[in-house]
Amino acid sequence: MSVDFNIKVGGEAGQGLQTIGQILSKTFLRGGFHVFGTQFYLSRIRGGHNYYQARISDNPIKAITEDVNLLIALDKASIDKHFDELSGGVVLVDKDKVKVDNDDKSIFHVPFTKIAEDVGGKIYTNTVAVGAALGLLCYNFDMLKEVLNDTFSKKGDEIVNKNIEAASSGYNYAQENYEGKCHYELESPGSSQKRMLITGNEAVALGALASGIKFISAYPMTPSTGVLNYIAANADRFGVVAEQAEDEISALNMSIGASFAGARSMVTTSGGGFSLMVEAVGLSGITETPVVIFLGQRPGPATGLPTMTEQGDLEFVLHAAQGEFPRCVFAPKTPEDAFYLTSKAFNMADKYQTPAFIMSDQYLADSEFTCEKFDASKISIERHLLTESNEAEQDKEYKRYKFTSSGISPRALPGQFSSLVVADSDEHDEYGHIDQTIDNRIKINEKRLNKLEGLKMEMSEPEIYGSDSADITLIGWGSTYGTLTETVDILRNKGVDINLVQFNEVYPLPESVKNILNKACSSDLICVENNATGQFSRVLKVETGVSVTGHVLKYDGKPFTPRYIIHELESKGVLQ
């Protein structure tokens, strides 16, 4: 029988939920399980009610679920808010510290704090809780020991040993005091395959480092900051300069300056910060300076819900900045996809000399996915620069914006040759100097826009999941992939004729999309999006002429679950 187990850790900000959650997740990962960790947090450093949820399975996990089998309650709100989510599970709580009105027998008191104090101090409370949780599951304690050792080794042997002692005391307490010893017995599947537990943000950062990023400038903004943090932490090792800008306007202009002079450059932000970058997006467009823009979406407008998720910025990204110029937009499905698409974004930005976007969201950015190791040998760095060997190709006077049929002008870097490189945000001639004549404007505007045709050919087709053709076709883009594939799996097991078309390269769309959708769908074409108005379905209509027959939308700041989607399909009459 396969394992599908869910642990929720609830408490106030500052109580160390994430640490408990991550230690648990890593302990199960080490045992060979697939683990999926998500966090729900408020925009505050202390107080409030936050939670971390880990789903554990011996099969790959694609989505989160509403069910909870074990709730570790560090505050009263955890019980008040999540008790109903328990499906035959147990609540672990320290009644000495948390007032519990509920006398249900699923509530199991473990004196976390008292045990911790006996070991050496309140600081070990969370480790006691982790130990108790694993004791309740009769999970191999050695796995936890190894994880604690790795986690605390930098702090010295004494801290490691105290944590192990605390965990062990919690573990034994649960074993000795829980009626019937083990609530569930979670036996490690064991696996020779080592897997990673990694967030979408970390995968983007790894992708950027593998792709030869040399410069990143950003103003911190949830939920994008993880990318900046990770690249900055490894900057010296990889020969990267990471600069925190005074604002997002500076961040993008700085990256464009760095890119103009030759460094592969990137900015990271969320919707509010991107709003400030908009003018510089056009600067990248008209000066034809490559830059990669990572946008971690959260619900807007303005400050919105800073720590929650949404797919509400697609049309904004497509239309940001005045005038018309090419751009491309990638929306990774998973961390693995994020790794490879980040590399593609850099290559496309360099080849087409345009801004390239990577659109993620808080759900993909912060959730911890179990992944196989990414294959760095698949990464190729394609700069498309004039080098000394082909310097001969250059005109005596270098034309930065030379007219070509593809619209791509050979790109030289300033200072590398005796030729001069001139770029301008004003409309300009082939040399890059200001030119306000009408004939030139028409020609150079067309040159820039011609690049879109080439870009279109570069974009991959969407993935079809399930059968090639079905009565019901779901359409999704970006991070909803896992949830939608699980939804399709559940429904197909029930005999529903359903498939999924998932887009991860969302603009420009390849020509073939119309045929693909016509072939995949025989009746209902339902677009599933984490926003209120169905933005991608509108893009699809404009770009391909295909109209969807219905929507499943969600804009409450939380990600989809299969159950929610199925319920919506039922209530709309799509599922009988």
Partner 1 sequence: MTTKDDYKNEVEIEWCPGCGNFGILTSVKNALSELDIPPHKVLMVSGIGQSGKLPHYLRCNVFNGLHGRTLPTATGAKISNHDLNVIAVGGDGDMYGEGGNHFVHAIRRNPDITVIVHDNQIYGLTKGQASPTSDIGMKTKVQKHGVMHTPFNSLATAISLDCTFVSRGFAGDVKHLSGLIKQAIEHKGLSLVDILQPCVTFNRLNTFKWYKERVYKLEETGYKPDDKTRAFEKSMEWGDNIPIGVFYRKDDKPTFEDKLPVLDSAPLINLGTDPSMVDELMEEFMSATNR
Kindly report whether the peptide bond that precedes residue 290 is cis, defined as omega within 30 degrees of 0: no
- Shortest distance, CB of residue 425 to partner 1, whole angstroms? 5
Out of 81, 97, 214, 441, the only residue in the binding site for partner 1 (CB under 8 A) is: 214
Chain positions 372 to 401 lying near partner 1, rule: CB under 8 A, are 373-374, 376-377, 379, 381
Residue 190 touching partner 1 (CB under 8 A): no
Residue 268 touching partner 1 (CB under 8 A): no
- Give, for 440, the enclosing helix (H) or strand (E): helix 438-458
Residue 531 touching partner 1 (CB under 8 A): no
Cβ contacts of 385 within 8 Å, gap of 6 or more: 262, 350, 411, 412, 413
Residue 311 touching partner 1 (CB under 8 A): no
Out of 84, 154, 396, 405, the only residue in the binding site for partner 1 (CB under 8 A) is: 154
Residue 157 touching partner 1 (CB under 8 A): no
User: In a 3-state reduction of DSSP, which class is residue 562?
Assistant: helix
Residue 366 touching partner 1 (CB under 8 A): no
Q: In whole angstroms, what is the distance from residue 292 CA to residue 252 CA?
A: 10
Distances (CA, A) of 185 to 83, 132, 135, 181: 22, 14, 10, 10
Q: How many residues bind partner 1 (CB under 8 A)?
A: 77
Residue 448 touching partner 1 (CB under 8 A): no
- Shortest distance, CB of residue 274 to partner 1, whole angstroms? 16
Residue 18 touching partner 1 (CB under 8 A): no
- Shortest distance, CB of residue 254 to partner 1, whole angstroms? 4
The nearer residue to partner 1, 98 or 143, going by C-beta atoms, is 143
Chain positions 217 to 246 lying near partner 1, rule: CB under 8 A, are 217, 234-241, 243, 245-246
- Shortest distance, CB of residue 198 to partner 1, whole angstroms? 5
Q: Phi/psi at 88 (nearest 5 deg)?
A: 65, 30
> Which of the stretches 130-138, 251-259, 322-330, 540-548 binds partner 1 when contact is defined by CB under 8 A?
251-259
Residue 139 touching partner 1 (CB under 8 A): no
Q: In whole angstroms, what is the distance from residue 474 CA to residue 481 CA?
A: 11
The answer to whether the CB of 76 falls within 8 A of the CB of 94 is no
> Which of the stretches 45-53, 211-219, 402-410, 533-541 binds partner 1 when contact is defined by CB under 8 A?
211-219
Residue 542 touching partner 1 (CB under 8 A): no
User: What's the N-to-C CA distance of the chain in angstroms?
Assistant: 30
The nearer residue to partner 1, 104 or 247, going by C-beta atoms, is 247
The answer to whether the CB of 227 falls within 8 A of the CB of 209 is no
The nearer residue to partner 1, 48 or 257, going by C-beta atoms, is 257
Residue 294 touching partner 1 (CB under 8 A): no
What residues form DSSP beta bridges with 306? Answer: none
Q: In whole angstroms, what is the distance from residue 343 CA to residue 72 CA?
A: 40
Q: In whole angstroms, what is the distance from residue 226 CA to residue 271 CA?
A: 15
Question: What are the strands of the beta sheet with 498-503, ordered from one edge?
Answer: 463-466, 498-503, 470-477, 521-529, 550-553
Out of 7, 23, 93, 133, the only residue in the binding site for partner 1 (CB under 8 A) is: 23
Residue 293 touching partner 1 (CB under 8 A): no
